[in-house]
Structure 1
Amino acid sequence: MEFNWFQKKEKKVLPEYFLEYKNAFLNAEKLPINQTRFVVFDTETTGFSMKKDRVLSIGAVSLVDNIINVNNSFEVYIKQEIFKAETVPIHGILKYGEMDKINELEALKQFLKYIENAVLVGHHVGFDVQMINEILKRNKLPNLVNKSIDTGFLFKKSKHAVYKNDKKHYTLDDLCNELKISKSDRHTASGDAYITAIAFLKILSRLNNRTDLKFKDLLF
């Protein structure tokens, strides 16, 4: 048997839906903040382990130029074998509830089509982004390409010039209390996404007076 040590590995062929998502970044212009499309999103999950837990629902809203487009919102519920009854009082999603549920891959396809090349916004967004990346990984796909903004980090910037000295962990409830935002739809993915979008706009209005910050400094 002969071995060809220099044989190149076959390049993985990505599915069409992921190529369409990636292609949205090819000719994307660097737009000023008032022309940038933001997608504010949230996930409800079975727990906080990025490896072991799963996404139960994804909710999102888009906004451009300080206007939330409520007519172009996003919400999916995902069928999951992994289920923790103790988390139901938090997110309210029953394993065999009445809401329509789709499989994880279909939810991923719809989410990628919705976000395109938008800047992703979330409260402690790193967790939500990583949970989506875990879905991508399970489907043998690369990670999300989008830049992101964390409203928790942004809120600290709006409160302090030297924000790195603030070690407090600000919850979304903390932001609602300080920014006077209604918590009527807390702990649903779509409700938290909408609340976070309002918080995002209120924080941006505070930061408008900060001459030491640039838009690129807010991105991850």
Structure 2
Amino acid sequence: MSWFGWFHKQKPGLDAAQQQRLEQLPTPGALGDGSLRSQRWVVVDLETSGLNLNRDQVLSIGAVVIEDGAVDFSQLFERTLQRTDTKLSPSVLIHGLGPSAIAAGSDPAEALLDFMAFVGDSPLLAFHAPFDQHMLGRALKDSLGYRLAHPFLDVADLAPLLCPDATLREAGLDDWLNHFQLQVGERHHASADALVTAELMLILFSRARQQQIDTPHALQERLAQWKRRQQAPSF
């Protein structure tokens, strides 16, 4: 039984099989001192019903894996969650998630269990990660009673950290894709956005190694130092 098996009573709405799956999810660990290349990373993107952190809901999850220095196309994840009682904002239509697609989606508990089994104990990467981390964490708590504790690094911060000569400030994902002249076949779709974020991250991992940032722990530490400098008051 995992660390939270004794702590959480069965979540109302979970059947015995779902509860067993929940208790068998691996415990995430801290980022280690192995090589960046050997670490398995999960790049995730969410589509949500809106941008309100406390009211809106996760509608779809897309994720890809970076391992051995490349995107592993044998490890892809995509689920649409069934949200029959969710009011959809007009922006949702940009993602191709109309009411019929949402109504035909997977049971949220099953989809989230599938996703966390896919993640395993791997760290997560996302562009503008605080939003995805909050929304995913809330969905997991609401549907499963699960506390998200995985390391979660923000590609939007890693890019300017590792590319200080770029003249981009507060840049979006499209800005960085254009900067590196990455070809994008599709955007504003969870799995497609996760893939292009992973392609950007491969470039950033290469930049990290050039700067003698060779381990996941070192990358996390360098990012924390950079963020403290960014937040320090200027005189």
TM-score interval, smaller chain: 0.7 to 0.9
Distance 1:65 1:196, change over 3 A: same
Partner of 1:143: 147
Distance 1:30 1:116, change over 3 A: farther
Partner of 1:38: 41
Q: Secondary structure at the match of 1:31?
A: coil
Are positions 1:131 and 2:127 aligned together? no
Q: Secondary structure at the match of 1:33?
A: coil
Q: Secondary structure at the match of 1:206?
A: helix
In the aligned structure 1, how far is the partner of 2:60 from the partner of 2:114?
Answer: 12
Q: Which has the larger radius of gyration?
A: 1
Alpha carbons 2:50, 2:91 under 8 Å: kept: yes
Give TM-score scaled by structure 2 length.
0.78
Alpha carbons 1:45, 1:54 under 8 Å: kept: yes
> Structure 2: which amino acid aligns with 1:182?
Q
In the aligned structure 1, how far is the partner of 2:208 from the partner of 2:50?
Answer: 33
Partner of 2:178: 177
In the aligned structure 1, how far is the partner of 2:201 from the partner of 2:28?
Answer: 24
In the aligned structure 1, how far is the partner of 2:137 from the partner of 2:34?
Answer: 26
Give TM-score scaled by structure 1 length.
0.83
> Structure 2: which amino acid aligns with 1:215?
P
In the aligned structure 1, how far is the partner of 2:154 from the partner of 2:32?
Answer: 22
**Cα shift at 1:72:** 1.5
In the aligned structure 2, how far is the partner of 1:41 from the partner of 1:183?
Answer: 17
Are positions 1:61 and 2:84 aligned together? no
In the aligned structure 2, how far is the partner of 1:22 from the partner of 1:187?
Answer: 31
In the aligned structure 2, how far is the partner of 1:212 from the partner of 1:98?
Answer: 42
**Cα shift at 1:12:** 3.0
In the aligned structure 2, how far is the partner of 1:159 from the partner of 1:24?
Answer: 29
> Structure 1: which amino acid aligns with 2:55?
K
Alpha carbons 1:173, 1:183 under 8 Å: kept: no
Alignment of 1:98-117 (within 5 A): 100-117=104-121
Partner of 2:8: 12
Alignment of 1:22-101 (within 5 A): 22-23=26-27, 25=29, 31-80=34-83, 81-97=85-101, 100-101=104-105
Which runs of no fewer than 5 residues in structure 2 stay unpaired?
1-5, 11-18, 225-235
**Cα shift at 1:153:** 0.6
**Cα shift at 1:89:** 3.6
> Structure 2: which amino acid aligns with 1:55?
V
Provide the aligned C-alpha RMSD in A: 2.8
**Cα shift at 1:140:** 5.6
**Cα shift at 1:189:** 0.2
Alpha carbons 2:108, 2:143 under 8 Å: kept: no
Which runs of no fewer than 5 residues in structure 1 stay unpaired?
1-9
Q: Secondary structure at the match of 1:62?
A: strand
Count of residues in Structure 1 that have an aligned counterpart in Structure 2:
207
